[in-house]
Amino acid sequence: MTNTGTISGINGPVIYLKGDPGFQMNEMVHVGKDHLVGEVIGLTDRRTIVQVYEETSGIKPGETVTSTGYPVSVTLAPGILNNIFDGIERPLSEIAKTGGAYIDRGIHVDSLDAQKLWQTHIIVKKGDHLLPGAIIAEVPETPAIVHKVMIPPDVEGIILDVVEDGAYTISHPLITLKLSDGTEKQLTMTQKWPIRVPRPTLKRYPATKPLITGQRIIDTLFPLAKGGTACIPGGFGTGKTMTQHQIAKWSDADIIIYIGCGERGNEMTQVLEEFSQLIDPRSGNPLMDRTTLIANTSNMPVAAREASLYSGLTLAEYYRDMGYHVAIMADSTSRWAEALRELSGRLEEMPAEEGFPAYLASRLSAFYERAGMMQNINGTEGSVTIIGAVSPQGGDFSEPVTQNTKRFVRCFWGLDRNLANERHFPAIHWLSSYSEYLTDLAPWYLEKVDKKFVDYRNRMVFILTQESSLMEIVKLIGGDMLPDDQKLILEIAKVIRIGFLQQNAFHKEDTCVPMEKQFKMMDLILYLYKKSRSLVSMGMPMSVLKEDPVFEKIISLKYDVPNDRLDMFDDYKKQIDDFYDSVIERNA
């Protein structure tokens, strides 16, 4: 059933309709003669408010608005991966085919290719009783990922008829179900799901497995769980996007949803180009085969920016329901919050802090709570991990978006301006960052990596903390005045900072480091500390210890030891022993 309303006023992306044409909240509507896509966001008996996902230039009062009868939704079927969409799941390559280099208004394209034939392997048979969300077929969507075709979460019934294995389009009926009320229903591969409604699950598991990213400061110091939430706040140029790219490339999630929300156009182009060329070390296929990009660049309409996060989240939940581990990169949630603010301002709502609407916190919490390691309604187990970048105004973490985000995420990777200025990347600061998953994940690390892992990790953090308080003194009196044991702490902290925490994203070996090597590096650094400390306690001055190039060698080990030559660590251990012996020999 469709209703029609008449436009009475336009203010940027917000339009007002006369009276109440019978629209529902969050219903998708078509606006004006170009049929721009919009969403109902406010209803009173005098007027209806619609936000428009496209540029509103040229719209006049008196034009009509038609309802579609369903909320703003995404289309879910094979073809999502290895694709790039705008904020409301319109494929940008299709838009380019019809509209040329620029994104025109009122372009209507199918979200997913309706012509393409997919090789379908049916795994159910006639007479099966299907519960909601049951998997009925498997489709190799890309060489890396098998798409599991499910029935919608609100459908249940007995199969009356089912097609043979073969090639089908996403709109071809695969099965006919007899529902509990006796009616028959044909189902295709395609489902629609409203973006603002979380897809249902059975239960939520506690965090037990880390999302391994290959980034040392994250995996070792501040780990993130699969199904967890993390935020990366940082001023411009501190490396938010770089960190997100690194995690998107190397993390051991099955599927990556990369949402470019209000960010640079060239960056999205870069991800698209780079991910098509880079090979996923785990599957041997191009990274794009497990990736979906949602691009709503900063010059695209602001309302679609607000929707893009939810679109991406819904796609992620869909793949989670198939039993995959999905990681979402949301870059940047601040732009999303600003879109909220802009729309709120246009609606003349009462502003709270810094002009943001008072519902900022509840929107943020609703967003991050959609993450989790879940048991799905079809019995599979999957997770959605959310990693949100935050772009605080002026790099000041006390602003509302950072503060409210901190309340709802459990992992905080704070980027530091000074580290970025020194080109110490990733510029995640070891003192201001934290991860609440440490204790949850400790059993995993003890079992899968090493029994001493957690202890070593804590000792490294302790050395860094000591360094920070010693630096206060050094700033006042200079480093030369310190006693030798404290000088040693500074020296070892330097080895940790440069040799371990700093990681070169452009270096072949260093860009992604396996857990085992991370542990061995940590082990070696602490071994060097132990040996040096015993030398210092024998009265050897630091200046003598520094004559040996062993400290520099350990620092450059991250480049010198290839990831598949971990046996070389024994040699380094021996070098430390030699260093110990030679110092004693020379100075005994």
Partner 1 sequence: MAIEYLGLSAINGPLVVLEGVQNAAFDEIVEMTVAGKTQKLGRIIEVYEDKAIIQVFGGTDGLALRNVHTRLTGHPMELAVSEDMLGRTFNGIGEPIDGLGDINSDIYLDINGKPLNPVTREYPRDYIRTGISAIDGLMTLIRGQKLPIFSGNGLPHDELAAQIVQQASLGDDSKSEEKFAIVFAAMGAKYDVADFFRRTFEESGVSDHVAMFINLANDPVVERLITPKVALTLAEYLAFEKGMHILVILTDMTAYAEALREVSSSKGEIPSRKGYPGYLYSELASIYERAGIVKGRHGSVTQIPILTMPNDDITHPIPDLTGYITEGQIVLDRNLYGQSVYPPINVLPSLSRLMKDGIGEGFTRADHQGVANQLFSCYAKVGDARALASVIGEDELSPIDKKYLVFGKAFEGRFVGQGNHTNRNIIETLTVGWDLLGLLPRAELDRIDTKVLDQYYKETTAEALGE
Residues 10-49 that bind partner 1 (CB under 8 A): 10-12, 16
The owner of tokens 């993450």 is 371
Does 180 contact partner 1 by CB under 8 A?
Answer: no
- Nearest approach in angstroms of CB 273 to partner 1 is 5
Buried b (16+ CB within 10 A) or exposed e, 210-235: bbbbbbbbbbbbbbbbbbbbbbbbbb
Does 544 contact partner 1 by CB under 8 A?
Answer: no
Does 111 contact partner 1 by CB under 8 A?
Answer: no
Q: Which of 5, 79, 227, 262 binds partner 1 (CB under 8 A)?
A: 262
Q: Which of 44, 180, 183, 266 binds partner 1 (CB under 8 A)?
A: 266
Minimum CB distance to partner 1 smaller for 103 or for 221: 103
Q: Which residues contact 261 (CB under 8 A, 6 or more apart)?
A: 87, 294, 296, 305, 308, 309, 330, 331, 332, 333, 335, 336
Does 552 contact partner 1 by CB under 8 A?
Answer: yes
Does 95 contact partner 1 by CB under 8 A?
Answer: yes
Minimum CB distance to partner 1 smaller for 117 or for 473: 473
Is the bond preceding 210 in cis, omega lying within 30 degrees of 0?
no
Rounded Cα distance between 346 and 12, Å, is 8
Of the ranges 190-198, 281-289, 394-402, 435-443, which one interacts with partner 1 (CB under 8 A)?
394-402
- Nearest approach in angstroms of CB 95 to partner 1 is 6
Minimum CB distance to partner 1 smaller for 149 or for 493: 493
Rounded Cα distance between 486 and 509, Å, is 33
Minimum CB distance to partner 1 smaller for 236 or for 359: 236
Minimum CB distance to partner 1 smaller for 69 or for 265: 265
CB 455 within 8 A of CB 464: no
Does 297 contact partner 1 by CB under 8 A?
Answer: yes
Q: Which of 19, 33, 58, 587 binds partner 1 (CB under 8 A)?
A: 58
One character per residue 444-473, x = contact with partner 1 (rule: CB under 8 A): ------------------------------
CB 512 within 8 A of CB 214: yes
One character per residue 341-380, x = contact with partner 1 (rule: CB under 8 A): xx-xx--x--x--xxx------------------------
The Cβ-side half-sphere exposure at 39, using a 13 Å CA radius, reads: 19
What ranges in 383-483 are assigned the alpha helix state H? 400-408, 417-421, 438-448, 453-477
DSSP string, 136-187: EEEEE-SSS-EEEEE--TT--EEEEEEPPSEEE-TTS--EEEEETTS-EEEE
- Nearest approach in angstroms of CB 560 to partner 1 is 8
- Nearest approach in angstroms of CB 19 to partner 1 is 12
Q: Which of 1, 45, 46, 60 binds partner 1 (CB under 8 A)?
A: 60
CB 248 within 8 A of CB 327: yes
CB 481 within 8 A of CB 410: no
Q: Which two tokens stand for residue 39?
A: 């969403």
Measured between alpha carbons, how far apart are the two ends of the chain, in Å?
A: 94
Residues 475-534 that bind partner 1 (CB under 8 A): 475-480, 498, 506
Of the ranges 51-59, 244-252, 511-519, 522-530, which one interacts with partner 1 (CB under 8 A)?
51-59
Does 474 contact partner 1 by CB under 8 A?
Answer: yes
Q: Which of 22, 198, 237, 323 binds partner 1 (CB under 8 A)?
A: 237
Rounded Cα distance between 334 and 314, Å, is 20
